[in-house]
Chains A and B, each alone.
Chain A
Amino acid sequence: MSTEAIAETFDKETTTQPVIAASGLCFSYGTGELTKQILFDVDLNIMPGEIVLLTGHSGSGKTTLLTLIGGLRTLKQGRLEVLGRRLDGADKDALVQVRRQIGFIFQAHNLLDFLTARANVELVFRMHPEVRRAEVQRRAAEMLTAVGLGQRLDYYPSSMSGGQMQRVAIARALVAEPKLILADEPTAALDSKSGRDVVNILQRLAREHHIPILMVTHDDRVLDIADRIVHMEDGRIVS
């Protein structure tokens, strides 16, 4: 088989099964008269390896959509399948199981201030006790080196810059080989240079490991990394 043929088969196999398949998602906060509907009939499919940016003004519902996909909120209406699991009507344990396969990157890095960069990344493997300690240490160090922090393994968050801390957070999100990355404005708290670095690293690692990314962003400077841009307005996907 030629390289092209392999690529084709690969594409066929993977394109048939979306990583995220959402249809008819509705979501509202509050109850009774105070109910405020945030999402209206949202449909969204994301294919393996795809980098999708989710843009829109504040209040457009993009972060809510991200929390639903990440299994951080329970869905009440609509159909949602993430990594082959149905999330609508899923119980707490099922949500936790899905979350463990997702790499999360938040606007705030939220690293544990009492652990070093290395320990923050190694911590993830507490959820994967089958991985041996030596391998945990090797993979954490490799991942931190991949995000350009090979010289700062034993630094505490308090002695790192914002960009460095966000890169540790990326290493933490990627070290356990997630099948999906969800990122919420990872560059919002960073200056343009660090922001660019962070996004470049994210893009490169996602491509290398063939991991799809769904990223919420306001930042026009990073739109070029996307395969596709989804724009939201008032709880609906408009393009």
Chain B
Amino acid sequence: MKFRAPIAWSQLSHGRIKLLLAIAGVLFADVLMWMQLGFLDAMFESATFVPQRVSADLVMIHPQSQALFRMTQFSQRALHRVPAHPQVESIQAGYVGICDWRNPWTQRDRQIFVYGFEPFRVPMDVPGLAEGWGQLRNPDVCLFDKKSRIEFGDVPKALAEGREVQAELNRRKMHVVGLVEIGASFAVDGNLMTTDTNFLRTFPERKSGWIDFGLIRLKPGADIVKVQKELQATVGKEVSLLTRQEFVDFEKAYWQKNAPIGFIFTMGTAIGFLVGFVVVYQILHTDVANHLPQYATLKAIGFTDGFLWRIVLQESFILAILGYLPSVLFAFGMYKVAADATHLPLKLTAFRAVLILLMTVTMCFFSGSVAVRKLRSADPADVF
């Protein structure tokens, strides 16, 4: 074909209201998909924020641990057997726990997540931790996650104004001496970082030496997988040794399989897809039905079915693009609002933009393919 008069566009744009409705339908479906997929990713992103950033080549956990906030303790004797391996550079024991934090301004309790590590080394690569780590050697001090939910009190503002922040943590006084950046997740609303000593003072019921995980760093150039196998053979089956990626996957798997939330967001995305499909199908079907005599005429004068199908499919493609483009702007705004409200890491990624574009095109293509079936009832012999 040497030229291409935009028949599909002429047909779509002839009825302004019809066109706007169809675009609104696609837009709605897309915004739903953006939000659901956004939250789904934010769920994984927030849950794996710490596992991704621990300064360790191997992580030791108890095999019955389910997730970072559902760890089973084990004796650190297992961890202390590790340095005998020539490739191991250092080990570091870590504790985690959940306890009440009393907001110093409102006196209201809220559960906060506390990390306690042996102090000789910065245990993870999160913003602010390296700077503040040295101050944790004093008793009853901690670093506060400035991306914790606001219900814990506006600690960052108080610190910025030079005020001393002291809160009750598990009914003990605790001084905040600095800030780190971790962020809330679906499991925890806020985080504190401190040393093992301070941790054990805060959680008197926890026994010293029964740790939640151990960080193992290897010498430069060590073959991580090989060392992992050798160490696993040394320590036996009472503990598991994970590479950092396996540690991330371990956390992810919990949210994927054991928590219903992942399913809910996937479902929400599917519903968005379905809503868009139905709306676009309705619009295209009505459009075809209203033009049946004309389509039959075109068939009568020699146009093929394929020609007419292409018009309808082109219409569905145009709708997909016209609905998708504004949805990106919507998503941008709504991610900002939702991220401010939930402190979850909602980010508009290129990957998701492409994914949703493909889903939109597929959705509209399905609608178009079902709507063109109506074209079969355009019988050219009925025109006379």
Instruction: Tell whether, in the assembled complex, residue B297 and residue A133 are in contact, meaning their CB atoms are under 8 Å apart.
Output: no
Taken residue by residue from 264 to 301, chain B's Cβ proximity to chain A (1 for < 8 Å, 0 otherwise) reads as 00000000000000000000000000010110111011
Given known contacts A70-B300, A104-B300, A126-B303, is B2 in contact with A132 (CB within 8 Å)?
Answer: yes
User: Once bound together, how far apart are the Cα atoms of A73 and B298, in whole Å?
Assistant: 15
Instruction: Tell whether, in the assembled complex, residue A99 and residue B300 are in contact, meaning their CB atoms are under 8 Å apart.
Output: yes
Instruction: Tell whether, in the assembled complex, residue B304 and residue A72 are in contact, meaning their CB atoms are under 8 Å apart.
Output: no
B120 touches A (CB below 8 Å): no
User: Once bound together, how far apart are the Cα atoms of A203 and B300, in whole Å?
Assistant: 22
Given known contacts A67-B384, A106-B383, is B10 in contact with A114 (CB within 8 Å)?
Answer: yes
Instruction: Tell whether, in the assembled complex, residue B11 and residue A72 are in contact, meaning their CB atoms are under 8 Å apart.
Output: no
Which of A66, A108, A112, A136 is packed against the most chain B CB atoms within 10 Å? A112
B104 touches A (CB below 8 Å): no
Instruction: Tell whether, in the assembled complex, residue B384 and residue A119 are in contact, meaning their CB atoms are under 8 Å apart.
Output: no
User: Once bound together, how far apart are the Cα atoms of A96 and B5, in whole Å?
Assistant: 22
B259 touches A (CB below 8 Å): no
B160 touches A (CB below 8 Å): no
Chain A neighbourhood of B307, CB < 8 A: 126
Given known contacts A106-B384, A119-B5, A133-B3, is B11 in contact with A114 (CB within 8 Å)?
Answer: yes
A217 touches B (CB below 8 Å): no
Smallest CB–CB gap between B1 and chain A, Å? 5
A124 touches B (CB below 8 Å): yes
Number of inter-chain CB pairs below 8 Å: 77
Residues from 26 to 78 in A contacting B, C-beta threshold 8 Å: 63, 66-67, 70, 72-73
User: Once bound together, how far apart are the Cα atoms of A106 and B297, in whole Å?
Assistant: 9
B7 touches A (CB below 8 Å): yes
Chain B neighbourhood of A119, CB < 8 A: 5, 10
B128 touches A (CB below 8 Å): no
Instruction: Tell whether, in the assembled complex, residue B302 and residue A73 are in contact, meaning their CB atoms are under 8 Å apart.
Output: no
A88 touches B (CB below 8 Å): no
Interface of B is mostly: helix
Given known contacts A122-B5, A124-B301, A132-B2, is B381 in contact with A113 (CB within 8 Å)?
Answer: no
Chain B neighbourhood of A66, CB < 8 A: 384
User: Once bound together, how far apart are the Cα atoms of A127 and B306, in whole Å?
Assistant: 12
B209 touches A (CB below 8 Å): no
Instruction: Tell whether, in the assembled complex, residue B381 and residue A73 are in contact, meaning their CB atoms are under 8 Å apart.
Output: yes
Chain A neighbourhood of B303, CB < 8 A: 126-127
Interface magnitude class on chain B: 20 to 34
Smallest CB–CB gap between B108 and chain A, Å? 63
A115 touches B (CB below 8 Å): yes
Chain B neighbourhood of A130, CB < 8 A: 2
Smallest CB–CB gap between B378 and chain A, Å? 11
Instruction: Tell whether, in the assembled complex, residue B304 and residue A96 are in contact, meaning their CB atoms are under 8 Å apart.
Output: yes
A111 touches B (CB below 8 Å): yes
Residues from 91 to 107 in A contacting B, C-beta threshold 8 Å: 96-97, 99-100, 102-104, 106-107
Smallest CB–CB gap between A50 and chain B, Å? 21
Closest chain B residue to A169, Cβ basis: B297
Instruction: Tell whether, in the assembled complex, residue A133 and residue B2 are in contact, meaning their CB atoms are under 8 Å apart.
Output: yes
B229 touches A (CB below 8 Å): no
Smallest CB–CB gap between A144 and chain B, Å? 16
Closest chain A residue to B15, Cβ basis: A114
Chain A neighbourhood of B13, CB < 8 A: 114
Partner of A123, one of B2, B7, B380, B384: B7
Chain A neighbourhood of B384, CB < 8 A: 63, 66-67, 70, 72, 106-107, 184
Instruction: Tell whether, in the assembled complex, residue A113 and residue B7 are in contact, meaning their CB atoms are under 8 Å apart.
Output: no
Instruction: Tell whether, in the assembled complex, residue A67 and residue B381 are in contact, meaning their CB atoms are under 8 Å apart.
Output: yes
Smallest CB–CB gap between A211 and chain B, Å? 15
Instruction: Tell whether, in the assembled complex, residue A100 and residue B302 are in contact, meaning their CB atoms are under 8 Å apart.
Output: yes
A200 touches B (CB below 8 Å): no
Given known contacts A67-B384, A73-B381, A133-B2, is B10 in contact with A104 (CB within 8 Å)?
Answer: no
Given known contacts A67-B381, A106-B297, A129-B2, is B7 in contact with A115 (CB within 8 Å)?
Answer: yes
Partner of B14, one of A70, A104, A111, A114: A114
Chain B neighbourhood of A132, CB < 8 A: 2
User: Once bound together, how far apart are the Cα atoms of A133 and B2, in whole Å?
Assistant: 7
Chain B neighbourhood of A102, CB < 8 A: 301-302
Instruction: Tell whether, in the assembled complex, residue A99 and residue B302 are in contact, meaning their CB atoms are under 8 Å apart.
Output: yes
Smallest CB–CB gap between B254 and chain A, Å? 55
Chain A neighbourhood of B298, CB < 8 A: 112, 123
Closest chain B residue to A114, Cβ basis: B14
User: Once bound together, how far apart are the Cα atoms of A124 and B370, in whole Å?
Assistant: 27
User: Once bound together, how far apart are the Cα atoms of A172 and B300, in whole Å?
Assistant: 13
Instruction: Tell whether, in the assembled complex, residue B294 and residue A111 are in contact, meaning their CB atoms are under 8 Å apart.
Output: yes
User: Once bound together, how far apart are the Cα atoms of A112 and B11, in whole Å?
Assistant: 9
17 of the cross-chain contacts (CB-CB < 8 Å) are A63-B384, A70-B300, A96-B304, A103-B301, A106-B297, A106-B300, A108-B383, A110-B296, A112-B291, A114-B13, A115-B7, A122-B5, A123-B298, A124-B301, A127-B302, A132-B2, A133-B3
Residues of B within 8 A of A (CB): 1-3, 5, 7, 10-11, 13-14, 291, 293-294, 296-298, 300-304, 307, 380-381, 383-384
In the complex, the 4 A-B pairs of residues with the closest C-beta atoms, listed nearest first: A114-B14, A100-B302, A110-B297, A99-B302
With A108-B383, A113-B14 given, can you name 5 additional A-B contacts, CB distance below 8 Å?
A: A66-B384, A100-B302, A104-B301, A110-B294, A184-B384
